Amino acid sequence: MNRVPVIKAALLGAGTVGGGVCQILEWQKEEMPKKLGVSVELKKILVRDTAKKREGIDSGLLTDSWQEILEDPEIQIVIEVMGGIEPARSYILEALRAGKHVVTANKDLLAEYGHELLDTAEEQGCDLMFEAAVAGGIPIIRPLKQCLAANHITEVMGIVNGTTNYILTRMTAEHMEFSEALAKAAELGYAEADPTADIEGYDAARKVAILASIAFNSRVTFPDVYTEGITRITAADIRYAEELDMVIKLLGVARNTGDGIEAGVYPMLIPSSHPLATVNDAFNAVFVHGDAVDDAMFLGRGAGKLPTGSAVAGDVFEIARNIQAGCTGKISCTCYKNIPVKPAEEMRSRYFLRLEVEDRPGVLAGIASVFGNNNVSISQVIQKNADRGLAELVVITDQVVERHFRDSLLVIKEMSMVKEIPSVLRVYG
């Protein structure tokens, strides 16, 4: 019987995702020779504390020495699931320069230093794969780079953070306020002890930077992405969205507009008929528009031990195939264009504006006049009488340039007839 070749790999990090990778590689041990023509085995696992007991992980593989992995010529693939910028960045660069192939799930690192890492991989003829960095178990990086490569993609948008999607789902389905829904998410393990990166939109913004860079073949970094979170969303906003036959989702949106890239993360009202409107709880979805494929949507589990581990292991399998075929380093950095990224004030959107105003004649006309003077066109108005001599006014605009809308708000906030502006949200479309 012919002996199946074995490719040795090292795993950096043995936390939640690292444990998932170990579990999947063990599950696939009998299948790998048939799927890949080779077997992939972990030789070393880098951890801080080798004495700590880790369920499902062979303690004999543990090491606290990066040099032991780097200098081992048998190890051909390095799998980084540590997270953070350093030492992950240094380890990946050193691994690539040593001729080792790399799989990473590190969105923070890729969103800021992806170009450096991919250039180094190309120089060394190595594979650098990162499917797990965006949307967990959902295949989206490789489809953008390969399956949809024959398209000019003009928009990529989606729900790419499960924590915020769960919170907004609970606010919609059970009419909770934000704080109550956040507490429920924490109770179920969907929210971290410090949920800032999720609820302020930073996690989603890093993923949007990666998606936009690949979709538009031009570098977009985390600081380029205009970001707003969901902390100001209220049950009243949710009710108005329902009345308008819409739902509120935290969306990452990137568009190639012809005169620059627009990239942002913010809560948006989207029509209930849109496919993303029905993506609930901790699920993620990415919606892509291309000139040839038209619309395509990718839906699934956006995080978690096994979904993310699935994406990591899939990249490991792909590299193993490439090593066997002698064709590593085929696809490196695809950012061969230099398209400018628009500043936030030049981006275009529709807006939902909720105001508390004096309940008397001329108020709406006064607000409409301010908008008109700043090139902001009104699409829809809802007025509801309240008590204390005040009324609630909801204005939805047509698509406008952000700076024109902001200029209008500065004036409206100072109008004596306007008592409060509880909500300003974007509207998709």
Known catalytic residues are 207
Q: Label each residue of 38-88 as H, E or C.
A: CEEEEEEEECCCCCCCCCCCCHHHEECCHHHHHCCCCEEEEEECCCCCCCH
Q: What is the DSSP letter of 349?
A: E
Q: Work out the burial of residue 111: count CB atoms within 10 Å of its CB; fewer than 13 is exposed, 13-18 middle, 19 or more buried.
A: buried
- Rounded to 10°, the helix 162-174/235-243 angle is 70
Query: Where would I find the beta strands (DSSP E) of 226-368?
Result: 226-227, 246-256, 261-271, 283-290, 294-301, 348-358
The tokens describing 347, both together, are: 């981006």
Exposure on the CB side of residue 244, measured as CA atoms within 13 A: 24
Residue of 29, 225, 10, 212 whose CA lies nearest to 104: 10
Sign of CA dihedral 362, 368, 370, 372: negative
**Which residues, including other chains, have CB under 8 Å from residue 48's CB and lie 6 or more apart?**
64
Closest to 298 measured CA to CA, from 127, 139, 72? 139
Query: DSSP letter string over 155-195?
Result: EEEEE--HHHHHHHHHHHHH---HHHHHHHHHHTTSS-SS-
A 10 A CB-CB count for 401 gives 16
For the record, the structure tokens of 34 come out as 């048939």
| Residue 48: C-alpha distances to residues 35, 52, 82, 259, 260 (Å) | 34, 9, 11, 48, 44
Compute the distance between CA of residue 262 and CA of residue 347 in angstroms, rounded to an integer.
6
In DSSP terms, which residues pair with 40 in a beta bridge?
7
The rounded distance, in Å, linking the Cα atoms of 351 and 268 is: 9
Which one, of 117, 115, 110, lies nearest residue 134 by Cα? 110
